Amino acid sequence: MLEIDKDRTAIGWLTGAWDDYTAGFFALLPVLLLQAAIASGGLPLINKWHSLLPAAAYALLVTTPVSLGCVLVYIRMARGGPARLADLFGAFPVYHRVLAVSVGLGLLTLGGLLAFVLPGVLLYLTYCFSEYLVVDRRTGIKESFALSRTLAEGWRRRLLPIAMLMLVLNLFAPELARVSDPFKNPEVSLDLRPWTVAAYLLKNFVFMPWLGLAMARAYVFLLSCPPAAQEPDPTDA
């Protein structure tokens, strides 16, 4: 595939994802609301125990598989199907693999970022589809990472804008809940100022779902590519 065709394809992921989002919004909304409610479940534990450890355990046991269940919802929508609430819990049957792949991807990315920023970004773009594969195709841990590398080969530069937008939103968009003094005596407080609420809603109910659908479209497209289309190109970052 020519470079210009790859660029057009990547733009199509974003435009197609917006079409998926607008067409399926009312079916997707209950999924997003339930995911947000489940993700906030660790916050009361911080105030109760004045420690981040219970919240971290909750994140591993509950939030992580639910987040990857949401990935399964996006994949279904990218394939033309409706958003299903049941898919939000679709990662639990392979929980041990989901946890291993998610933690492994996080450690690889963090290690690369701590060494130099660019290697961390490249590692994430190379192995980002490992989480999609383990919930969609029920692949093993090693197979998920190996196949993700194959899928992303030659396409990392096109995946970069989507990943960077998601990173910017996660880093800079304000959250409703704030944790003060996290190391000594953590306590959660709410910030309900209008602009904070508006930013939170836009991030979690518009932009992140749209970008998640774009990544799902990229995954579905690359999964359908013949092996020849996965050959690396010399301009790939």
Q: Taking 90 as the threshold, does the pLDDT of residue 114 lie above it?
A: no
CB atoms closer than 10 angstroms to residue 116:
10
Question: Given this model, what pLDDT does residue 109 score?
Answer: 84
Whether the CB-CB separation of 62 and 44 falls below 8 Å is answered with no
pLDDT tens digits along 151-184: 999 999 999 999 999 999 998 999 999 888 877 8
pLDDT tens digits along 35-89: 999 999 999 999 888 889 999 999 999 999 999 999 999 999 999 999 999 999 9
What is the model's pTM? 0.90
Question: Given this model, what pLDDT does residue 110 score?
Answer: 83
pLDDT (mean) for 145-155: 95
Q: Taking 50 as the threshold, does the pLDDT of residue 228 lie above it?
A: no
User: At residue 79, what are phi and psi to the nearest 5 degrees?
Assistant: -90, 5
DSSP strand pairing (187-190 vs 177-180): antiparallel
Whether the CB-CB separation of 53 and 46 falls below 8 Å is answered with no
Angle at CA of residue 146, ends 143 and 150, nearest 5°: 130
Question: Given this model, what pLDDT does residue 165 score?
Answer: 95
Distance between start and end Cα atoms, the chain: 17
